[in-house]
Chains A and B, each alone.
Chain A
Amino acid sequence: MTLSEEEVAGDLEPAEPAPPSRGRVLAGRFLASRQGRAGVGVLALMFVLAFAGPLFAPWSHTDKDFAAFLEPPSGRHWFGTLQTGADVYALTLRGLQRSLIVGLLAALVSTALAALAGAFAGYFGGWTDRVLTWITDLLLALPAFLILAIMSPLFGSGQWPLFVLMLALFLWMVTAKITRGMTISLRQREFVRAARYLGVPPVKIIFSHVLPNLSSLLIVDATVNVSAAILAETSLSYFGFGIQPPDVSLGTLIADGSRTAIYAPWTFWFAAGLLVVTVLAVNVAGDALRDAFDPGAKGGR
C-alpha cells in the first residue's frame, strides 16, 4: 500500500528537541505572568525587610528607650514607640520574621500532609485507606486549641519549629478528606490506568499524575492556610500561648496594639499593614502558580 509522507517520516533524521519537561514549562509560565512576578517579588521583599531590616536599625526588639513612651514616628524611632518605650520598627520586623516563617512553613507542612495522606488513602484503598482515615477523623475530633494551649510551655524560646509542626498538625484534615475523594475518582481515569499498564510504580503515579491534577485545590488550600496559620498563631499568642515573650510575632503586636490603636495608630497599623500585604502577596503568587499548573488557564501560552 502507499503510505502518505507523514507516515513514513520516521526514516527522516529527527532533530533533538530541547526537553520541554514539566518543571521548565511551569517555571516559564509562572514567571511569564505578571501576577506571579509581583507576588514572588513582594514576598521576597518581605523576607529581605524582615531579616536585613533590623541590621540598619539602632534599636533591637528587646531594647527600651526610657526617654520616649508612646511617641509617634520620628527620626529617632522610625515607626514610633510603645508605652514601654520599645521601638515599633524593631518589634514589627522581629514579628514579621516569626510570622513569615510560622505562616509559610505551617501552611506548606499542612498542605503537604493533606496531599500525601489523602492521595495515598485514595489511591491504595484497603488498609492504607482505613488507617489514614482513622487518623484523620481522630485529629478532627481532638480540640486543637486546648491541646496547643496545654503544650504551650514547650514552645519556649527557640522552640518555634515544634510550634509550627503542632499548628500544621491541626490544619490538614479537611483538605485530606477532599483530596482522598478526588483521588478515588482520578484513579478511575484512563490516563492513570494507562500509566499503571505502562508499568509506572504506584508511588510515582501519585506524584506525577494524581497530585499535579489536584494542584489547583492544593495551591488554593496552601494560600488559605498561610493566612489561617498566621491568624491561628495570632489568636494563640493573644491568649498568651503560642509565641512567648520576649519573642514577638505580628499576632502579639496586633493584639497589643489594638488597645492603643485609636489614639496611637502607629502601634497597630504597621504590623497590621505588613500582615495584610504578606497574605495578599501569598494569594497572588498562589493564583499565578495555579494558573501555571493548569494548561487551560488564560494567558498560559
Chain B
Amino acid sequence: MSPVLEVDGLEVAFGDVPVVRGLSYELRAGEVLGIVGESGAGKSVAAAAVLGLLPPEAKVSGSVRLHGRELIGAPERELARIRGRTVSMVFQDPQSALTPVYRVGDQIAEAVRAHQRVTKEQAAVKAVDLLDLVGIPDPARRALAFPHEFSGGMRQRALIAMAIANDPDVIICDEPTTALDVTVQAQVLEVLRKAQCRTGAAIVLITHDLGVVAGFADRVLVMYAGRPVETGDVDDVYYRTRMPYTSGLLGSVPRVDGGGRRPLVPIEGGPPEPGRPAPGCPFAPRCPMREEACDDREPPLFEVGAGHRAACIRWADVRRADGGEQARAPREPVTRGPRTVLEVQGLVKRYPLMRGAMFRRRAGTVHAVAGISFDIREGETLGLVGESGSGKTTALTQILELAEPEEGRIVVLGCDTARLTAGQRAAVRRDMQVVFQDPAASLDPRMTVYDILAEPLRAHRAGAPGRRVAELLALVGLDTAHAARYPRELSGGQCQRVAIARALALEPRLLVLDEPVSALDMSIRAGVLNLLGALKDRLGLSYLFVAHDLAVVRYLADRVAVMQLGRIAEIGRAEAVYATPAHPYTQALLSAIPLPDPVRERSRERILLDGEPPSPADPPSGCRFRTRCPTFRGVLTAEERSLCVDAEPEVRPLGEDQAAACHYAEKLAVV
C-alpha cells in the first residue's frame, strides 16, 4: 500500500533561523503517527508547513507529497482544494478556532459546503449528523448554539466534526487535548478514535504528552531542536529506546502507576535556542552519554531496528534511564505528625453572578467552594487536586489572603484568620510562602534576581541580604552569577528555581505551591520536582500542593485531597487513594490519565465520564457528581439512586486515613 502522505527532507527557516531541519516521515492509510517534542522543537511549524499555512517569510524546502502529488510550491488554489477535504486540521485552542459570531452548526455546514456541492439544507443536516457522531447530546438543538455556549471539550468535539466533515484522508491534530482536563481529554481522544474508524483517515497527532501517544499512536517520531531524533513503532521507541533524549524524557515523566515514587531522572540544562548551530549533536550538552565524537558532527538517523531509527552515534549503548530500582523509601510516617500547620474547616466561598451593563443585578451565585475541610501536619505534603472549576484555586486564594472566610474557619500556623492582629498577620506572612504557576509572571521583570531574593528579607527586616542571597541561590542549584540577571535572561526552569528560593528566603514552615511545574517543559519538570522533594526533606517544610496533574501530585504528596465542584470528593493517604480509590470521580480521574507505557495503556479499561461537568452556578441536588457518575447510572437501582438525589454525601472515613464523599463508595484499583 502506498503511503497517503510522504514528507521528505522538510526544512523550514524564518530568516536565518532554521526551525525544522530534515524532517521525513510516511503515513499510510489508517495509521496514527505521534509527533512528540517539547516547546520549540518545531512540531507545530512542521505541521503548518505540510498544509502550506506558514507566513510568506518562512522559507520552506524539501518535499511533501500527498497521494504522490507535490504540495510544496503548489499554487494556492490547489492547496485550498486540498485543505479541509483531503487533509484537515484540529487545533490546540478550540476557543480561538471557532468564529464567535456564527452558530456552531453553520460553521460545520460551511466546512461541508466548501468542498461538496450540496444545498444549504443538506449541509445543515450533515452538520447535525456530524455533531451526533462526535457525541454531542441533543445535536439538533446544539447546532444552533454559539461557540461561547459550548464548554472547552464540546468545542474541541465540534472542531473534530469540522475536520471529518469531508472524509479526509489525513487529519493533523496539533495538541488537540492540551488545553483540556484529563477526563475531557479521555472523552475527546475517544471521539478522535471513533472519527478515525468512521473515515479511515490517517492521523498525525502532535503532542508533548508521552502518555497520549502511547495509547493512541502506532508510530512515534520524537523531535528535538527542529530535527527528528528517533522514530519507530510505539513499542520499539518506548521499550527499546535508542536515543538518550527519548530515554531521558521517559525517565523524567512522573507517573500515576508503578509502585510508589520512583525518583525522576531530570535532563540537565535546557533545550538549545534555535539559530545557534553548533557542529555537533544538539542534544550533546545535556546528554549523560556524551563523548568527544558527539561534538564532531550532527549524527544522522541510524537504522537501529526494523523501521526504527535513532540519531545517536552510541545508540547501541542506550538504556532506559530508570532511577535504579531502589525507589525512594516509602514514606515512613504512617502515623501523622502531632502539630498542625494549616487547618481548614467547612470553608465556603460564593461569588455573585452579575448580569446587565447599566443596571447590574444579581443573577445567581457561583458556589466556588462549598464547605471543604482538611488539615496539614508539620512535615507533610497535601496535594489538592481537581479539574478546572473544581474550586481549588479559590480555596488557595482564601488561604493566602488571610481574610476571614464567609463561612467556616481557616487556621494558619495556629492563628485563626478571623481574629488576626497586625503582628500575627506579619508573622504568618513570614512563615507561609507561595510559589506560583507561571514563573515568568511571578517575578518582577524589572528587578534583578538579587533584588527579587532580597525583597522578602528587606520586607521583614531580616538583616543584610548579601550573604543570604548567595546561600539561597546555592540552595536551589543556581550560580551566584545569576544574581545580576533579570528574569527574562533565565530559562523557565531557572525562573521557577528563583521563585522557590524567594519563597524559602525567610525559612518558612508552610509552602503553598500553586501548580509549580505545569508551565514548565517536561524535561525541566523533573528537576524542579526533585528539588522540591529534596528541600522538603532537608528543611522539614510542609507543602500545600495544588495541581490538576495527578501524576505530579503522586510524586510529591503524602496525602491527597480530590476536589470536585467545590467539594472534597476523596481525601487520604496518597498510596491508598492512588492504589484503591473509593470515590467514582477519583476512579474516573485516575483511569483517564494516559500512561507512558504502550502495552498497559492499550490493555487498560477506561472509566469514561458522560456529559459535561455541571456549572458551579447551578450544581445538581444531592451528590454533586451524580450527573456524570458511572456508578449512579450503571450500577445503582432506582431506590438507591434516590439517596444520591436527595442527600449530599458527607466525607466519611473508609479505613485507615482514607475518606470519600460517596454514599456507595467502594475501593477499586484502576491504574
Residues of chain A touching chain B, judged by Cβ–Cβ distance below 8 Å, are: 1-4, 6-10, 12, 14-17, 19-22, 25, 189-191, 193-195, 197-201, 204, 208-209, 212-213, 215, 293-296, 301
Contact = CB atoms under 8 A, between A and B. Distances in A.
Contacts, number: 133
B450 A21 contact: yes
Contact of B477 (A9, A15, A190, A208): A9
Contact of B448 (A6, A22, A215): A22
16 contacts: A1-B534, A7-B531, A7-B534, A8-B534, A14-B467, A17-B484, A21-B448, A22-B451, A193-B442, A194-B442, A194-B502, A195-B455, A199-B430, A209-B447, A213-B446, A295-B487
B456 interface: yes
The 3 closest A-B pairs by CB, nearest first: A199-B429, A6-B477, A295-B486
B434 A194 contact: yes
Interface residues of B, number: 55
- The majority secondary structure among interface residues of chain B is helix
Nearest to A201: B459
A150 to B, nearest CB: 41
Contacts of A9: 474-475, 477
Contacts of A200: 455-456, 459
B286 to A, nearest CB: 13
B444 to A, nearest CB: 4
Contact of A20 (B263, B459, B484): B484
A15 B444 contact: no
Contacts of B266: 4
A155 B489 CA distance: 52
Contacts of B486: 295
B442 A191 contact: yes
B484 A198 contact: no
B229 interface: no
Interface of B: 263, 266, 268, 323-324, 328, 400, 426, 429-430, 432-434, 436-438, 441-448, 450-451, 454-456, 459-460, 465-467, 469-471, 473-475, 477, 480, 483-484, 486-489, 499, 502, 530-531, 533-534, 538
A112 B429 CA distance: 31
Contacts of B328: 1
Nearest to A9: B474
B488 A14 contact: no
Contact of A14 (B426, B465, B473, B499): B473
Nearest to B445: A295
A17 B466 contact: yes
A199 B467 contact: no
A216 B210 CA distance: 43
A2 B327 CA distance: 10
Given A17-B466, A198-B433, A1 B533 contact: yes
Nearest to B482: A17
Nearest to B530: A7
A198 B438 contact: no
Q: Tell which of A10, A208, A212 has the most Cβ of chain B within 10 Å.
A: A10
B444 A21 contact: no
Nearest to A294: B446
A77 B584 CA distance: 98
Contacts of A20: 448, 450, 483-484
Contacts of A8: 534
A209 to B, nearest CB: 5
Given A7-B534, A213-B446, A197 B434 contact: yes
B619 to A, nearest CB: 28
B530 A213 contact: no
Given A8-B534, A14-B471, A208-B455, A199 B488 contact: no
B670 to A, nearest CB: 27
Contacts of A208: 444, 447, 455
Contact of A190 (B323, B441, B502, B533): B441
B541 to A, nearest CB: 14
Contacts of B488: 295-296
A190 B442 contact: yes
Given A189-B441, A197-B433, 11 more contacts: A1-B323, A14-B474, A15-B480, A19-B483, A190-B436, A191-B441, A191-B444, A195-B444, A197-B432, A197-B434, A295-B445
A25 B489 contact: no
B441 A19 contact: no
Nearest to A204: B459
Q: Tell which of A3, A17, A198, A209 has the most Cβ of chain B within 10 Å.
A: A198
A215 B446 contact: yes
Contacts of B448: 20-22, 25
A296 B489 CA distance: 9
A212 B446 contact: yes
A15 to B, nearest CB: 6
A10 B474 contact: yes
A273 to B, nearest CB: 37
B400 A197 contact: yes
Nearest to B430: A199
Nearest to A211: B446
A163 to B, nearest CB: 35
A195 B458 CA distance: 12
B263 A1 contact: yes
Contacts of B469: 17, 19
Given A10-B474, A10-B475, A209 B466 contact: no
A24 B266 CA distance: 36
A2 B329 CA distance: 11
B582 to A, nearest CB: 30
Contacts of A209: 444, 446-447
Given A7-B477, A21-B451, A295-B489, A16 B443 contact: no
A3 B265 CA distance: 10
A291 to B, nearest CB: 12
Contacts of B432: 197
B491 to A, nearest CB: 14
Nearest to B484: A20
